Amino acid sequence: MNCDKQYLTHLTEELVAGAKYAVLPGDPKRAKDLAFMLDPNAKFLAFNRQHASYLANLEGVNVLVVSTGMGCPAISVTAIELHKLGVETYIRLGTSGTIKEKINLGDICITRAAVKLDGISREYVDEGYPAVAHFALTQAFVDGAKQEKIPHYVGITASSDTFWPGQERHDNYSGYLLRSLQGAITEWRALNVANFEMEASALLTIAKVLDVRAACFCGIIAKRTESEEPNHEGKEKAQMHWEKTLKAGLIIDMKRNGLIQ
């Protein structure tokens, strides 16, 4: 292994080609789809473990697309390795379930801040340290969604380490939830939390520690006021919406930072 090859992503400075932006979906297939959506001539870079990496060029600016795998531990190691290679802007993009009645299947939830229900954040910062998105970067995606007329909601996300009990899903391995988790959805809804996912809190926390920019937005594929099950039609609509939001938001941010005209 070359001394500058990152252990988990297998990326090098040469491969990333000076890219300062990284789009971070969880799914390796989604990484490929997003890279070629941004750039039909995107280049495959590396694949190791859950990390599939591509280099796209958008309006003359290099953009990495790297799958992280699922959960806060996975996205944390991805962000750390990319930071070593000079990446300064991180965009987490994925799927999510909403707990608010007014948010619909296929809508985009843009994270203003995240409730840290994960274990990773506690190993980097004190419990009171906030997990907040970069304001200007987040606003670029809000403006991108508005520009593309994408239905969206900007609010607070809860990030859990588990898909089942940590999100108060009763269809888990045993059907039993710890007493401390029972009623969690009602409580978070009362506190105006919009959605659940599994990565935002770690990424936003680590980005603040590293003094880099990070944002998160997700497509809603489960409306948990109606059903626990992911909705396939909702997922197709969400994919169309997150692709348009991503591309428009990136271009807006690049223009505001003088990278393109």
What pTM did the predictor assign?
A: 0.95
pLDDT digits (tens, 9 = 90+) for 131-171: 999 999 999 999 999 999 999 999 999 999 988 888 888 76
Give the pLDDT confidence score for residue 167 in this predicted structure.
Answer: 86
The verdict on residue 8 lying in a domain is: no
Is residue 237 a contact partner of residue 105, using CB atoms and an 8 Å limit?
Answer: yes
pLDDT digits (tens, 9 = 90+) for 196-224: 999 999 999 999 999 999 999 999 999 99
CA distance between the termini of the chain:
40
Residue type at 240 in one-letter notation: M
pLDDT digits (tens, 9 = 90+) for 100-135: 999 999 999 999 999 999 999 999 999 999 999 999
The verdict on residue 190 lying in a domain is: yes
The verdict on residue 221 lying in a domain is: yes
Is residue 205 a contact partner of residue 116, using CB atoms and an 8 Å limit?
Answer: yes
Q: Per the structure, how many domains does the chain have? A: 1
Residues 17 and 24: their CA atoms lie apart, in Å, by 17
The CATH number for 123's domain is 3.40.50.1580
Inter-CA distances, 143 with 22, 39, 40, 250, 260, Å:
19, 21, 24, 10, 17
The verdict on residue 6 lying in a domain is: no
Q: Which domain holds residue 89?
A: 13-256
Q: Is the pLDDT of residue 176 over 70?
A: yes
